[in-house]
Structure 1
């Protein structure tokens, strides 16, 4: 991760996978699943915008806050265990001069992660901090940004004050809390879960700040 030998941004990977499968896979954009009803022959899927359809199997690969898991297995609160960490990720100008390398700087309940691999002009930044619940995930960007600023107000690193300003200017701002999915089973009849929807914690769990 810190060596920066290879970096494929998620957006680029998504475009690549779509391009090489578009002739063989039907993609539906600008819609969401509203209801799932199982019967002997398959699963009836109702959509928020499109007409209902029948499928032989439904695989939920829709992330930590999986709509498929919520509909088929129960509310998020029953499946998610908060890991005590929230944070934001974004890219900004590489004012640290990083070149295929990165840094991890920890404060009291906070952590800064930055690296540059795709090019010398830009760097990716992660700002993580301790939280008691994932409630911030449900708020708007302005409130999430303020929570980051409040958390890093006492961070001792001299560069820390510059990063929240870069965060506000970023057009790829993303906020999430670390949580682990805990389920007794990953399948229910003709409905199953894979990936983050089934098992994985959010990536920030890997560099959680040390508790004082």
Structure 2
């Protein structure tokens, strides 16, 4: 009985640019070394463990499909982190759009529009959630994952100068939000019973 070779696309390659056997072993090693780190990074960006696992899995699938390109990148992990950051950004934007649709759906036409129900900022996680995505990503990569400015720039596809600026602004905003224990504006707002 003859075994059929896998289907090929117009370029003669297997569909989805599936890597050859040697590349498969290299990718498997990459996956085992970095999947958990990518899941933690995604969690730091979006704050939801299940969604973070999904993002990490989707990012690894994207890396697998683009393994030739990822392999040629200056840093494979930076390449993968960039994919995670983009997927997290897309997920956050989709969630914001969904919330807006739900709010509009449940709003009574004559009801006054109130501001969003913001949670009190009691810890670093909640404060991080308030930062813009790029700023949050810079702070997380630099200070949680302890990447260099260059590695952070490569992961996010931005310049080193932008990393420095966004990290500095992000840390300043975190300091403002958290302040001294019991003294920050968010905590004062909580104490006074109003949202930050």
**Structure 1 length as normaliser, TM-score?**
0.24
Which has more helix, going by share of residues? 2
Q: Could you say which structure has the greater relative contact order, defined with CA pairs below 8 angstroms and 6 or more residues apart?
A: 1
Task: Please identify the structure whose Cα radius of gyration is greater.
Answer: 2
**Structure 2 length as normaliser, TM-score?**
0.25
